[in-house]
Structure 1
Amino acid sequence: MITELHSPEPTTRMKVIVTFMQMVSPPAGPRLLLPAGWSVEHGVQPSLAAYRVLHDRVGRSCCWWMRQAVPDEPLEHFLAVAPIEIGLLRDNGNVRGFYEINRADPSSPNIAYFGLFPEAIGQGVGRAFLDTVLRRAWRGNPLRVRVNTCTADHPRALPLYRDAGFDVLRQVEEVWDVPDRLGLTIPPHLRA
């Protein structure tokens, strides 16, 4: 199945394979601890500008474009009313990543966004950060927790989710028209 997302403005066409995953039981075993000085702040309500910075810092290299393409007013409304939870990964107080859990379906929360700033990658915090987010997502005893990743994401994303206990549900090829105004560099191997 191929899904195409089109835009009326100048764009660059990008083709990815999206992997949809689910976890049907909470993480087993003891909680994974972040290194000294690292912490996760839950229930953050960032300003629109701060939210855009989070998406840019984590997602620029992975071509995260969908939220960045939304105009300010509807995105601000979404942040005000959507059933989402946002949290920040911090290193001695400095933001180094974020997550967003969408709880529109309380029986099946979706980790809509999860990632590290480039300088935090390779610091040994990703797995513990994900463990913290998963335990948060499992609050309220849902039936499952969902996440998806794609071939534009960091190459460690899919193995990380599998190692954490997610199973692949399906893979879908999608063709996206990424707005050129966002200034994202589409890697040659992902250009359609």
Structure 2
Amino acid sequence: MKSEFWDVPQGQIAAIVTHLQMFERPAPREIPEVDAELMAHRKPDLEWYRDLFMRVGGQDWMWFSRLGMADDELRAILHDAAVQIFSVRVNGRDVGVLELDFRTAGECELGYFGLTPAMVGTGAGRWLMEHALDRAWAEPITRFHVHTCTLDSPQALPFYVRSGFTAYARQVEIADDPRKIGVLPADSAPQLPIL
């Protein structure tokens, strides 16, 4: 068995990205009752979006791509009629995000999906995924896809597989460490040392 090591330059991070897809809506799963609402946000405020994005994935994990975007670039995505943004709201506070991207005809990408740490383990993930599946397959699509990486929660990949997605490709992504360029605070994702 052969293995190789690849150097990651100082100031950068590397992740293994797994791409997953499905071609039909899987059978609905039983979900626990969750005291939450799914709220649609048409043309969301960028400050609100970045705050939720940070609370869901930026502090504990390494969600950074949207945080480093210029306002015009981010607005072009979030305000596109083919992109649907939802939040999970509990007691008036947004504690989860769901982003469905229909910009490619016949497909939906699960752009972002996640919950704040306090919601993990409550059943809200299964509840949110059932909403995602219902909404994606309500449109005229033939493929629903998502990708996750090793900078995200280790629960993400097995969760997507349990939800009916099948892995089909793997890549290595190398990017500037967002903590070194000021996109994320230096104490974000402490499980990954800054080099």
How high is the TM-score relative to the length of structure 2? 0.83
The one-character-per-residue Cα deviations of 1:58-84 (angstroms, maximum 9, x if unpaired) are 111211111100122332233223621
Distance 2:105 2:40 in 1: 18
Is the contact between residue 105 and residue 141 of structure 2 (CA under 8 Å) also seen in structure 1?
Answer: yes
The one-character-per-residue Cα deviations of 1:60-113 (angstroms, maximum 9, x if unpaired) are 121111110012233223322362100111223321101111111131110010
Aligned-partner SS, 1:181:
coil
Aligned length: 182
1:25/1:37 CA distance change after superposition, 3 Å: same
> Shift of residue 33 of structure 1?
4.4
Is the contact between residue 14 and residue 186 of structure 1 (CA under 8 Å) also seen in structure 2?
Answer: no
- RCO greater where, 1 or 2, for CA within 8 Å and sep 6 or more? 1
Distance 2:159 2:23 in 1: 16
> Shift of residue 40 of structure 1?
1.3
| Residue 23 (structure 1) aligned with residue 22 (structure 2) | yes
Structure 1: gaps of 5 or more residues: 1-5
Distance 2:19 2:182 in 1: 28
Distance 2:109 2:15 in 1: 20
Higher strand share: 1
Is the contact between residue 112 and residue 147 of structure 1 (CA under 8 Å) also seen in structure 2?
Answer: yes
Aligned-partner SS, 2:133:
helix
Q: Identity across aligned pairs (percent)?
A: 31
Structure 1 equivalent of residue 72 of structure 2: 73
Distance 1:130 1:29 in 2: 10
| Residue 104 (structure 1) aligned with residue 138 (structure 2) | no
> Shift of residue 172 of structure 1?
0.6
1:154/1:85 CA distance change after superposition, 3 Å: same
Structure 2 equivalent of residue 94 of structure 1: 93
**What does residue range 49-68 of structure 1 map to in structure 2 within 5 Å?**
49-60=47-58, 61-68=60-67
1:36/1:162 CA distance change after superposition, 3 Å: closer
Distance 2:72 2:192 in 1: 34
1:62/1:189 CA distance change after superposition, 3 Å: closer
**What does residue range 18-167 of structure 1 map to in structure 2 within 5 Å?**
18-29=17-28, 32-33=30-31, 35-60=33-58, 61-81=60-80, 83-167=82-166
Is the contact between residue 12 and residue 178 of structure 1 (CA under 8 Å) also seen in structure 2?
Answer: yes
RMSD across aligned C-alpha pairs, in angstroms?
A: 2.3
Structure 2 equivalent of residue 3 of structure 1: none
Structure 2: gaps of 5 or more residues: 1-8
> Shift of residue 44 of structure 1?
4.0
Q: What letter is aligned with 1:59?
A: G
Higher helix share: 1
Is the contact between residue 12 and residue 175 of structure 2 (CA under 8 Å) also seen in structure 1?
Answer: yes
How high is the TM-score relative to the length of structure 1? 0.84
Is the contact between residue 14 and residue 190 of structure 1 (CA under 8 Å) also seen in structure 2?
Answer: no
